[in-house]
Structure 1
Amino acid sequence: MESVLVTSLRTLVGFVVLLMLTRILGKKQISQMTFFTYITGIALGNIAGDMVVHRDITVLDGVTGMVLWAVLTLVVEFASLKSSKARVLLDGEPTIVIKEGRVLERAMASNRLNMDDLSMLLRNKDVFSVGEVDYAILEPNGELSVLKKVKPPQNRRRFLPTELIVDGQLVERNLAKLHRTREWLESKLRQEGVESLEDVFFVELQEDGSLYVDRREDLH
């Protein structure tokens, strides 16, 4: 019974202190969180959890650890507010991953982003085709900002935008669903001035039946 009471009191103290600190630090909305603020939240939660379950950590030590971590976080955020260099160092910079309709492979690789990741981020912005995008910028918090191309109105959708080559690899299952062959794709690519499948990084079938083709860059 005494053990339960001690654990309950430690939990109550940890909960109250953590609530107060998160109220002080939690000024950013979840969608605006950066990697640093995300890690800060995890660290504070871990310190509070360890204080509750590990009896060798005194309540005073646990509270001190949480308060000190919160103070250091406030100091870092203040430095970020006052210095653009500190802000770039802590939060990072936006990265252009699509420029003038072309996927920038080097930018994708430096951010450890593949075409499946990019497609998912675009769908979160209600964009179902890379061909619709003029510019796409990966923000420091992992969100994707998208500027669409200005397109004339179309009367009818012939196809659902479908990936045919992703990260330089032929997606044969999508060709099969479209009842198309590799030879058909190679013929279409030759019409676009592409002699080999190995020369392209990403290919997508557009709504009107045309191909969006992004040529492979030399990453070395």
Structure 2
Amino acid sequence: MTVFDVMYRSLIFIVILFIITKILGKKHISQLSLFEYITGITLGDIAGEVIMSKDMHIMHGITGLLVFSAVSYFSDYLTLKNRKLREIIEGKDTIIIQDGKILEEGLKKEKYSVEDLESLLRDKGIFKVKDVEYALLEPKGKLSVLLKKENQPLTAKDLGLNMPNEKEPQTVIMDGQIVYEALRKSGKNLEWLKTELEKLGTTIDQVFFAQIDTYGELSADLYQDQISIPNQNERQLLLAVIKRTQAELEMLSLQTEEPETQKIYSLNADKMKAIQIKIEPYLRE
């Protein structure tokens, strides 16, 4: 078998495995169940054997991949419909800690030592077993933990506070490129973005990454991390506020469907633009 044969077979199976993984879904590239683990190893073994063995026909390897993939696909489908079958194939939860006490039988069943349990707890930032009220080991090896009430962090609900829902932060600049779709979702426009960056003493071409949070505030990470974002003096801040007001009035005029209201917003946006042009030379001195 020549090097080109190996390259040819490798490329074929990379494509096939990629397609199979896309079909089977994200579940098969996250934490694996026992059955998924076996299937994954087998698929890799078949692909490797066909790639390196000149005696095995490519179609035989593809057939083997398709059979194992079909079995995995249909097992996922059947386990969605049948809880008992799901427990047989994927396994059941195992309680490790209950009422603040370690259950030795649960550890023995899963062949976990106390050191293993401590390691799993440390992964969750828990260093004292006595802080845990309840813990169970999921079929895919993940430990789910409920802390005792006194060790749980306070929430706004505990304090009787009504908090607004958090919105997804929008990444508006990535790798130095403006993400216009995210900018639109955030309810901002390009003029607003430029104004906010000016308030931070930087420009779009200097920004590596920038996000708008729930409250409409912009945070930016520059390409050259050693450059600190300077504090702006009052005149620069005033200019930035004027630009921002003009941009927001312009945006509101585009968003409203009422012609009279749109006219008012547009008129005031023009006035703010005129003010900006007049006083900008003085504020930049």
Same fold (TM over 0.5): yes
Q: Which residue matches 2:112? A: 113
Report the counterpart of residue 57 of structure 2 in structure 1: 58
Question: Relative contact order (alpha carbons < 8 A, sep ≥ 6): 1 or 2 greater?
Answer: 1
Give the structure 2 partner of residue 67 of structure 1. 66
Tell me the secondary structure at the aligned position of residue 145 of structure 2: strand
TM (norm. structure 1) is 0.65
The residue number in structure 1 matching 2:242 is none
Partner SS state of residue 21, structure 2: helix
CA distance in 2, matches of 1:52, 1:127: 46
Percent of pairs identical after alignment?
Answer: 39
Write the distance in 2 (CA, Å) between the matches of 1:152 and 1:102.
Answer: 16
Q: Which residue in the other structure is 1:9 paired with?
A: 8
- The whole-number CA distance in structure 2 between the counterparts of 1:4 and 1:149 is 61
Q: Distance in 2 between matches of 1:53 and 1:27?
A: 28
Higher helix share: 2
- Long gaps (5+) in structure 2: 153-285
Q: State the superposition RMSD in angstroms.
A: 1.7
Distance in 2 (alpha carbons) for counterparts of 1:145 and 1:31: 16
Partner of 1:72, secondary structure, is: helix
Alignment of 1:143-162 (within 5 A): 143-151=142-150
- Could you tell me which residue of structure 1 aligns to residue 24 of structure 2? 25
Cα-to-partner distance string for 1:115-167 (whole Å, 9 max, x where unaligned)? 000000000111100000000010001010000012279xxxxxxxxxxxxxx
What is the TM-score with the length of structure 2 in the denominator? 0.51
Task: Tell me if the contact between 2:94 and 2:137 (Cα under 8 Å) persists in the aligned partners.
Answer: yes
Cα distance change on mapping 1:30 and 1:52 into 2, 3 Å: closer
Say if 1:40 and 1:73, in contact at 8 Å, map to a contact too: yes
Report the Cα offset of residue 35 of structure 1.
2.1
5+ residue gaps, structure 1, are 154-220
Looking at structure 1, the residues matched to 122 and 132 of structure 2 have their Cα atoms a distance apart, in angstroms, of 12
Q: Is the 8 A contact 1:31 1:141 kept in 2?
A: no
Give distance in 1, aligned partners of 2:151 and 2:68.
54
Moved more, 24-33 or 49-58: 24-33
What's 1:78 paired with? 77
SS at match of 2:149: coil
SS in 2 for 1:57: coil
For the pair 1:47 / 2:46, whether they are aligned, the reply is yes
Say if 2:97 and 2:103, in contact at 8 Å, map to a contact too: yes
CA shift for structure 1 position 30: 4.4
Match of 1:104 in 2: 103
> 1 CA distance for matches of 2:104 and 2:64?
43
Residue 136 of structure 1 contacts residue 147 of structure 1 at CA under 8 Å; is this kept in 2? yes
Structure 1 56/73 Cα, relative in aligned 2: closer, same or farther at 3 Å? same
Tell which deviates more after alignment, 29-38 or 106-115.
29-38
**SS of equivalent residue, structure 2 residue 150:** coil
Matched residue SS, 1:113: coil
Matches within 5 A, 1:169-188: none
Deviates more, 1:3-12 or 1:28-37: 28-37
Q: Bigger CA drift: 36-45 or 88-97? A: 36-45
Distance change (3 Å), C-alpha of 1:131 and 1:69: same
